[in-house]
Structure 1
Amino acid sequence: MKKDQTVNLKYAVVIALLGFMLFSGTAKAQKASWIWYPGDYEVWLSNKMQNRRTERGTFLPPFWKLDSHYVLMNFHKDFELAEPEDAKLYVEGQHNISLDGTTIRGYPKTIHIPAGKHRISLKVYNQANVPAIFVQGRHLVSDTSWLVTCEDKEWIDASGKTSDVSATKYLMAGSWGFNDPVVLPSTYHLPVEPKKAVSIDEKPHHMFVDFGKETFGYIKLNGIKGKGKVSLYFGESPNEATDTARCELADKVDIDQRSGDYTFNGSRAFRYVSIYYDDNISINDVSMLYEYSPVKQRGSFRCSDEEVNKIWDVAAYTLHLNTREFFIDGIKRDRWVWSGDAYQSYLMNYYLFFDSPTVTHTLLALRGKDPVTSHINTIMDYTFYWFLGINDYYQYTGDKTFIQQNYPRMQSMMDFCLSRRDKDGFVQGQTGDWVFIDWADGLSKQGEVSFEQILLCRSLETMAECAKLAHDSTRAVKYAQIAAYLKAKIFSYYWNDQKHALVHSRIDGKPTDNVTRYANMFSIFFNYLDEAKKQDVKKYVLLNNDVPKITTPYMRFYELEALCAMGEQSYVLKQMKDYWGGMLKLGATSFWEEYNPAKSGADVYAMYGRPYGKSLCHAWGASPIYLLGKYYLGVKPTSPGYKEYIVEPNLGSLQWMQGSIPTPNGDIRVYASTKVIKVSADDGVGTLRFKSKTKPVCKQANIVSKDDNVYELQIQKGQNLVVDYNAM
């Protein structure tokens, strides 16, 4: 690079990546796509999506600060061509373009580029939408190797010379892979497909429509004619759809047409729709346009228990319904991007879709822009879940680039968190903070809650690892030291030997006697407890009915994970069948935001002081996908991106099970019965670990005996292993 082409990049890793950004005329170019400043499209689209929420015609925006995209963007690319070529240009916004420092007049749709080394630059302004470009040449194409900045920081001296060294910080462009130049990113929407109703009960000027299961989309009135009003009342239950005064979602429209079809503009969640229309209106039929995310289901699970199979299927459908432009909480009420809900969706996604883009899109949308003025979603624990989501993303995908590029946003977010610690180094709710933890009656959020300290500690450990990936060794040491110091203080201040557990909180510097499940169960799967403390927590907290029970699928997720991590798969399977099976027995076709077996009748739908306030399709209800994949089939990465992994089947009380776990480069397939284990994998090196009463046999690999009837063998790419054993 010449001196006047030098860019001052903050991180050495980005400089190293520049080597891949130059290509010759003989190099293989990526496919052209629309590109923009990384994270801006996610911020813009999430704003657009989250502000669609209405309740009975009333607009309900999110509770938290919404950021916006940068309105002026500089795109550039250094490249070399072996021969001349023409490149077509498409731009969202007002723009100018220069080649090798010379501005090209006007707004050319095609530019001619001679052979040789060049720099192309485009400045794009767009207040309404995200500044974006699409460049299509034979070799020069817009892709994520382009550099972008929101402030070029150039200056001009009295002679008119432009500075040759600047403080500009460039990032690699963002993209969602939109590769049609005439379809603008600002017009993006999810696909739809027609769906018929299962039944329509018609009465004079009224239709009660059942679509058979929970769904999401746009109601379509087919063959409607006449002039008058049509009113729609949506319900996830028959009770809700028929309670026209109190159902959560309702639409009204004035119709004036001779004949034809009418599709409502607003997408809605429902199973049932009650439709009322004026005397001089007639409707032939009712259908819908089902709106969905085009993610592909890659994971699978089947076992000897048909109820568990049904639970897995309904969980998969629940997660798919809540996988939209981003991972959202629930399709009926909020339709917002909540960090705590999304964190669980990421984990379930790794065992069902392994759709990395939806994970990164959601992480970027949640983070927003600097400066940081509040916790994510205003919730302290949700900020910590955001850090944990990044840690898990790297472990499952091995994507260093995402970590390195977004490390500055992680750093400023953590700086905000650390600035709000008290004199003892703990965090507690301050003015404007929402300490959520869980929906639980009587749960104290006062003082220094042990659960929040556990999440902060794990977040600091995440920061230490990400700092290493970003080659920030100084802060890597700093974060690791703070985490170690905090962990020691947590167990010094909160562990109660008489209670055999971490107590819930400290108030005015004194620990309370109250024991809850939250900090204790997280300490198990974070591996913060020694074996003796783990057994204490299992006996005196997780299996103790005197400790307040958890009634939301949200925290049941973590409670059951902790028990699975302790080898309690048989107990967890019974809990899963009682809890999720209980919802199925009440007619659930997707899993709920909250389920309390003690409730009955109309109370099962009530929440937030409203008779139908509860979401009957909530992402955090789909956790069996994760539990069955990670702790029954037993598959998880042991190095980033499944380069190494473990398969540790645990049948619990099942007679057999089989399934497929998606990874970045193929699938891992597992079958296990009480007599045989079969494993094959498309990539990586794995370890199969299992217990057997008798000496196992495998013709394809050597079995190594460990202590306590534990055996291991190595799984190589492309192998089909068959192990004869006797399950314990």
Structure 2
Amino acid sequence: MKKSFIAACLLAGIFFADTLKAQQATWIWYPGDFEIWLANKMQNRRTERGAFFPPFWRLDNHYVLMDFHKVFDLPAAEEVTLYTEGEYNVKLDSKMLPGRPAKVTIPAGRHKLNIKVYSLDKVPAIYVKGKTVVSDSSWKVTYEDKEWIDATGMVSSQSGTQWLSAGYWHFNDPMSPPSQFRLSVEPQGPARTERKGQSMTVDFGKETFGFIKLHGLKGQGAVSIYYGESLEEAQSTTTCETLDHLEISAAAARDSVMPLSKAFRYVHLRYDKGVHIDSVSMLYEYLPVARCGSFRCSDEEINRIWDVSAYTLHLNTREFFIDGIKRDRWIWSGDAYQSFLMNYYLFFDSPSVTRTLMALRGKDPVSSHINTIMDYTFYWFLGIYDYYLYTGNETFIRQFYPRMQSLINFCLQRRNSNGLLEGLPGDWVFIDWADGLSKQGEVSFEQLLFCRSLETMALCANIAEDTQGAAKYRQLAAGLRTKIFDYYWDEDKQALVHSRINGQPTPYVTRYANMFSIFFNYLNEAQKQGVKEHVLLNDSVQQITTPYMRFYELEALCAMGEQDYVRKAIKDYWGGMLRLGATSFWEKYDPKEKGAEHYAMYGRPFGRSLCHAWGASPVYLLGKYYLGVRPTSPGYATYLAEPVLGGLQWMEGDVPTPDGNIHVYCSTQQIRIKADAGRGTLRFKSRSKPVCKGAAIEDKGNGVYEMQVAQGKLYEVSYRL
């Protein structure tokens, strides 16, 4: 593994599963509880024109009483120091120690240390540090120890208790407990400032996020700050989405930082005549994740699109993967799912994925779909599927399998008499923002996502050693897949129709189910070609105007070898936003709109997000389908590298994995590849017989060649595109 890669990722707080160094003490808690607690804090910071604006779905909370334990076998007695978040007691070999000991001596030999912690306002957590005894993910934790003492003083059996491996992140300092976590900040100045009377307009040069800071603030009176992702929004004092008002009464000059961080490029200030402000700056707020993936090519516009996509994703990678930095600043499962995929090709920050998955899932009992949206429940399962494929982390799957079961059981209980899902009271069937898109009846898109979720459950059941469950979910998935094609496939239209109503298929064809069926590999080759011709490349089928679904449409086309078409589409769609002055990518972009129409959404003139996570999809598309790198077994134990230039003259980049990078360079005459880990297969097309010194190249027919890639070795292939 490259030392620079390790250093960068460790600085960013990236810890891959089960890799905490021996003797490294860290704060630990019940897995999922810190994540839920932190999500509550973050999602309830949203405001709209100063009004408190919380999520509209159920918010769960952490367990308030927690028992931690571990059995140690020590060659010599050892003193350990204890830190906790909350009230606590300590037991050594099931005997409670008096008081609240800050230090405990564990004798030589085999001994069990228990620490029970109660905390209502923050997550019960512990930090234990000795010479060899440390708190880490090997400790066991439960919210109900089911322990009692009988009349003889004997301690009961604990066989009925479910113990999980402790959760952790990167809190390795005993004086910096989890409850004190804050995102990092750094000072930044504006690109330009314009004053006019008792007002000031400040441009920070690009979309950004943080706390506005007023310098040299003095006098007496009111100050109003209006934030805008566009200049028009910042100067529209009655309709901008976010603002701050403050009253000052200070004779001496001082600096003042606004209490809540916000998204903006521009800020417009108005203040009374008795008020003076020297200048305005900001504290940029961010999660310090390292950019481990990279991409460069012969097309400078594509390079710019990749850069802005990476910046857009980073802005929306905060405590969790959120939807947009202006609004909603909530954790939406559909948005997060795309962020997971982009993350695997940019940061490969596994903790951000698991934090977000755990926060979205919440706790039992299940009373509604995730975010109340049917499709968003299924995206959560798809996120689990991909997380295992990219990271190989079985521990997470085993621990959260019970919560997967309860969520899929909720879905199974909501099937209709046909064994299909349709919206019930309280269900939001979203799919996409598209004018006139019907959500009525049994929508084929929902059945497709449901089928993939059942396949995910079968995979996870095998990991959790639930053989009966694995067989059940496989059978359910196979039965649903058969129904999908029996009920929705129209041979004349060469497509899956959009829905069934009252048991009858509708004639309407949309792109959604059809493009997902391609990269789910649910279609045979003839059906794929039919869908490509009659749906994906058919302008008479309703066009997609959100980056959200454009992501999947272009992925389907890439999966069918249409990289040249996709490159042009990326330049047209994302390049279109750049040509309008975008410095981050938007929630929605319709080239037919003009001027201020690009800012409006939800019936509000500035309701649209101009920095939305789902706008960053070129990071994923260029890494997976142009550099062509993707895992073929969990955690990149094996992988495929299938570079496709798609009309580019050359390209080069790094794809991060759990154990280092895979570097690919490709031009029309040469391919170079070097991987830090895993066993790879390089697949490419050539019009002449390729040559690579020190490697055997296998002719697969029809101009396709394959070569095996060993870890740590640089390969240079001469070929002819």
Bin for the TM-score computed over the shorter chain: over 0.9
Q: Is 1:117 matched up with 2:121? A: no
Q: Which residue of 1 aligns with 2:479?
A: 485
Q: Is 1:469 matched up with 2:463? A: yes
Cα deviation, residue 204, structure 1: 1.6
Q: 1:444 to 1:28 in 2, by over 3 A?
A: closer
Cα deviation, residue 184, structure 1: 2.2
- Structure 2 residue corresponding to 1:394, chosen from 374, 385, 388: 388
- Structure 2 residue corresponding to 1:722, chosen from 700, 716, 719: 716
- Pairing 1:142-181 to 2, within 5 Å after superposition: 142-181=135-174
Cα deviation, residue 165, structure 1: 4.2
Q: Gaps spanning 5+ residues in structure 2: where?
A: 1-17
Q: Which residue of 2 aligns with 1:302?
A: 296
Q: Which residue of 1 aligns with 2:31?
A: 38
- Structure 2 residue corresponding to 1:102, chosen from 95, 98, 101: 95
Matched residue SS, 1:91: strand
State the one-letter code of the partner of 2:395.
Answer: T
Q: Which residue of 1 aligns with 2:219?
A: 226
Q: Which residue of 2 aligns with 1:53?
A: 46
State the one-letter code of the partner of 2:588.
Answer: E
Cα deviation, residue 615, structure 1: 0.1
Q: Which residue of 1 aligns with 2:588?
A: 594
Q: Is 1:194 matched up with 2:165? A: no
Q: Is 1:643 matched up with 2:637? A: yes
Cα deviation, residue 177, structure 1: 2.2
Cα deviation, residue 98, structure 1: 0.9
- Pairing 1:553-632 to 2, within 5 Å after superposition: 553-632=547-626
- Pairing 1:229-308 to 2, within 5 Å after superposition: 229-257=222-250, 258-308=252-302
- Give the distance between the partners of 1:700 and 1:228, measured in 2 at CA: 76
Cα deviation, residue 111, structure 1: 1.2
Deviation per CA, 1:330-354: give whole Å up to 9, x if none: 0001100000000000000000000
Q: Which residue of 2 aligns with 1:419?
A: 413
Q: Which residue of 2 aligns with 1:523?
A: 517
Q: Is 1:403 matched up with 2:393? A: no
Cα deviation, residue 116, structure 1: 1.2
Cα deviation, residue 185, structure 1: 1.1
Cα deviation, residue 90, structure 1: 0.7
State the one-letter code of the partner of 1:143.
Answer: D
- Give the distance between the partners of 2:21 and 2:575, measured in 1 at CA: 53
- Structure 2 residue corresponding to 1:140, chosen from 133, 144, 155: 133
- Structure 1 residue corresponding to 2:175, chosen from 172, 182, 193: 182
- Give the distance between the partners of 1:397 and 1:653, measured in 2 at CA: 32
C-alpha contact (below 8 Å) 2:146/2:158 kept by paired residues: no
Q: Which residue of 1 aligns with 2:8?
A: none
Cα deviation, residue 166, structure 1: 3.4
Q: Which residue of 2 aligns with 1:209?
A: 202
Q: Is 1:431 matched up with 2:449? A: no
Q: Which residue of 2 aligns with 1:450?
A: 444
State the one-letter code of the partner of 1:347.
Answer: L
Q: Is 1:685 matched up with 2:679? A: yes
Q: Is 1:129 matched up with 2:122? A: yes
Q: 1:509 to 1:28 in 2, by over 3 A?
A: closer
C-alpha contact (below 8 Å) 1:700/1:722 kept by paired residues: no
Q: Which residue of 2 aligns with 1:662?
A: 656
Q: Is 1:84 matched up with 2:111? A: no
State the one-letter code of the partner of 2:662.
Answer: I
Deviation per CA, 1:77-132: give whole Å up to 9, x if none: 11111111111111111111111111111111111221111111111111111001
- Give the distance between the partners of 2:83 and 2:334, measured in 1 at CA: 38
Q: Which residue of 2 aligns with 1:93?
A: 86
Cα deviation, residue 415, structure 1: 0.7
Matched residue SS, 2:270: strand
Moved more, 152-161 or 375-384: 152-161
State the one-letter code of the partner of 1:238.
Answer: L
- Give the distance between the partners of 1:160 and 1:104, measured in 2 at CA: 16
Q: Which residue of 2 aligns with 1:12?
A: none
Cα deviation, residue 157, structure 1: 2.8
State the one-letter code of the partner of 2:500.
Answer: R
Q: Which residue of 1 aligns with 2:336?
A: 342
Cα deviation, residue 28, structure 1: 8.1
State the one-letter code of the partner of 2:521.
Answer: N
C-alpha contact (below 8 Å) 1:234/1:272 kept by paired residues: yes
Q: Is 1:70 matched up with 2:67? A: no
- Give the distance between the partners of 1:642 and 1:160, measured in 2 at CA: 53
Q: Which residue of 1 aligns with 2:6?
A: none
Identity %: 66
- Give the distance between the partners of 2:478 and 2:196, measured in 1 at CA: 68
Q: Gaps spanning 5+ residues in structure 1: where?
A: 1-19, 22-26
- Give the distance between the partners of 1:464 and 1:443, measured in 2 at CA: 32
- Give the distance between the partners of 2:412 and 2:193, measured in 1 at CA: 57
C-alpha contact (below 8 Å) 1:658/1:670 kept by paired residues: yes
Matched residue SS, 1:260: strand
Deviation per CA, 1:4-63: give whole Å up to 9, x if none: xxxxxxxxxxxxxxxx99xxxxx9843111111000000000011000000111000001
- Give the distance between the partners of 2:118 and 2:331, measured in 1 at CA: 28
- Give the distance between the partners of 1:504 and 1:360, measured in 2 at CA: 33
Q: Which residue of 1 aligns with 2:357?
A: 363
Matched residue SS, 1:178: coil
- Give the distance between the partners of 1:177 and 1:667, measured in 2 at CA: 22
Matched residue SS, 2:681: strand
Q: 1:653 to 1:137 in 2, by over 3 A?
A: same
C-alpha contact (below 8 Å) 2:23/2:131 kept by paired residues: no
Matched residue SS, 1:468: helix
- Give the distance between the partners of 1:458 and 1:384, measured in 2 at CA: 8
- Give the distance between the partners of 1:352 and 1:156, measured in 2 at CA: 53
C-alpha contact (below 8 Å) 1:29/1:140 kept by paired residues: no
Matched residue SS, 2:201: strand
Matched residue SS, 2:707: strand
State the one-letter code of the partner of 2:253.
Answer: S
State the one-letter code of the partner of 1:33.
Answer: T
Matched residue SS, 2:388: helix
- Give the distance between the partners of 1:37 and 1:514, measured in 2 at CA: 48
When the two structures are aligned, how many residues end up with a matched partner? 703
Moved more, 319-328 or 416-425: 416-425
State the one-letter code of the partner of 2:128.
Answer: V
Matched residue SS, 1:478: helix
- Give the distance between the partners of 2:106 and 2:671, measured in 1 at CA: 60
Matched residue SS, 1:47: helix
- Give the distance between the partners of 2:713 and 2:105, measured in 1 at CA: 52
- Give the distance between the partners of 1:297 and 1:183, measured in 2 at CA: 25
Matched residue SS, 2:427: coil
Q: Which residue of 1 aligns with 2:7?
A: none
RMSD of equivalent CA atoms: 1.2
State the one-letter code of the partner of 1:541.
Answer: V
State the one-letter code of the partner of 2:120.
Answer: Q
Matched residue SS, 1:224: strand
Matched residue SS, 2:551: helix
C-alpha contact (below 8 Å) 1:73/1:124 kept by paired residues: yes
Q: 1:28 to 1:508 in 2, by over 3 A?
A: closer
TM-score, structure 2 normalization:
0.97
Matched residue SS, 2:603: coil
